[in-house]
Structure 1
C-alpha cells in the first residue's frame, strides 16, 4: 500500500511514517511539503491509495489544498490532519470531500482507528466533533439501506456519498445523467431523514448502517 503524506514539517512526517509502518509494515510513504509537491507525486504514482493532508500548508489558505487535490484526483481517498480541531474546520473538510479528519493531538490508537475506517470505505471524524450536527439525528440500531426504503441503485449512490465523491463523479461512476444522480441523492437524504451530505455521513455512522445492498460485502458506513 502506498500513502502520500503532505505536511510542511519534516519531523512530523517522519514520525507519522513510523506509525504507519506499525499499521502495515509493507506500507510505502511518499512525502510532500506542499500542494505542488503533492500534485507532482500523485501524477507520478498512479498507485497511491490514500492521501494524508495537513490543513495549513505554505502557499495555501485554509482548506484550499483539499479543494485543489480533490478536484484533480477525486478518486483517491483523502484524510485531513491538523492541529486545528474546531467543528467548523472538521465539518467543512467533510463537506469538501475528505473521508476523515485526524487531530494532530490524537493518539496512535485513534490514528489507526481512523485509517482502518477510511480504508474500509467509511468516514471518520473525531469523537464529539460533530456533536452539534449529530444532536438532531437520533441514534438508531444497526440497520441496512433496504430497511430505510433505499433501492439498490440508491444504496450505490449512498456508498459514493460516504466516500466523499462529488455529484459529477457519482454520475460518471454509475453511468447516470447528473439530473438522475441528483434525484437519487435527494432520495437518499430523505431516506436518512437529513437535508445535507454532512448530516447523511453522521446519520449513517450513528445508525451503524451496513452497506450490503449493492451486492458488495457488508461494511459499516463509518466507525468511531
Structure 2
C-alpha cells in the first residue's frame, strides 16, 4: 500500500533554485509540488487557490515579504499548513526566529534531495522535524503553542557564552548588559532546566546541540 502523496509549495525569490528544487522533488513519488511563489505576498495570492496544500518550503530572506512574516501569516490563516524553513547557512538567530513564527523545522539549501524528503515526511507525520541545530525539546514546546518560548534569544546567547572561558562579568560586557541582568539569565535557565551549575548548563547545551564547542 503506497503512502498518500504530500502536497507542497515552494516559496523562494531565486528562480533557478526554486525551479530546480521543484524539478528534483517531482522525481519522488511521495510528493507533488502544487505551486511556486517568489515571496510572502505572492504566496498569499496563490495559496487561496490550493486548499489541499500541506507543507510550504519557505525561504527566510526574501524581498517584499520575508520568511518570518510569511510564516506568521500562514500559521494565522492556515494553521494546519506546515512550514519548513530553507536556509543558506546555519544562522541560529534566523532559524529560531522562523521556529517562533511557526515553522516546524529547517533544512539547509545544500541538503540532499533525499534528506529534504525525509524532513518533509517528518514534519507531516510529527508536526516538526528535529535537526542538528535545534533541540527536540525546544521544537516540541514551540509546536505546542506555548505563549512564551522555553528560552529567550538572550538566554540562548548567554548559554553560548557559558561554554567559553569568559567570566560572568565579561559575558555581561559582551552582551551590553549589567552583571545583575546576566545573573537573571543564569537563574532563569537554572529554574527552567532544573540545573544548579554553569557546568550543568554547558552540558545541557551541548547535549541538546544548543551550543557549539
Deviations 1:73-130 (A, max 9, x none): 2221111112132222222222221111011121222212211111212422432x12
Distance 1:105 1:162, change over 3 A: same
Specify the alignment match of 2:143 in structure 1: 164
Is 1:123–1:163's contact at 8 Å kept on the other side of the alignment?
Answer: no
SS at match of 2:75: helix
* Shift of residue 62, structure 1, vs aligned partner: 6.1
2:60 to 40, 55, 59: 55
CA contact (8 A) 2:54 2:80 kept: no
Unaligned stretches of 5+ residues in structure 2: 1-5, 148-191, 195-207, 209-213
1:162, distance to aligned residue in structure 2 (A): 6.8
Residues 1:8 and 2:13 are matched in the alignment: yes
Structure 1 stretches lacking a partner, 5+ long: 138-157, 169-192, 196-205, 207-224
Once the 2 structures are TM-superposed, how far is the Cα of residue 68 of structure 1 from its aligned partner? 2.2
Provide the residue aligned with 2:104 in structure 1: 99
1:41–1:90 CA distance, 2 compared to 1 (3 A): same
Cα offset, 1:69, TM superposition: 2.3
The Cα of 1:8 is off from its aligned counterpart by 0.8
Aligned match of 2:49: 44
- Closer, same or farther in 2 for the Cα pair 1:48/1:165, shift >3 Å? farther
Structure 2 equivalent of residue 27 of structure 1: 32
State how far apart, in whole Å, the 2-side matches of 1:31 and 1:50 are. Answer: 12
User: C-alpha displacement at 1:16, in angstroms?
Assistant: 0.9
Deviation at 1:9, TM superposition (A): 1.2
**Inter-partner Cα distance in structure 2 for 1:25 and 1:18:** 14
Equivalent residue for 1:126? 131
Mean CA deviation greater in 48-57 or 13-22: 13-22
Question: RMSD over aligned Cα, in angstroms?
Answer: 3.2
Deviations 1:32-54 (A, max 9, x none): 11111111121111111111111
Which has the greater radius of gyration? 2
Q: Greater relative contact order: 1 or 2 (C-alpha under 8 angstroms, separation 6 or more)?
A: 1
Q: Which residue of 2 aligns with 1:220?
A: none
**Distance of 1:39 and 1:167 partners within structure 2:** 26
Q: Is the 8 A contact 2:34 2:50 kept in 1?
A: no
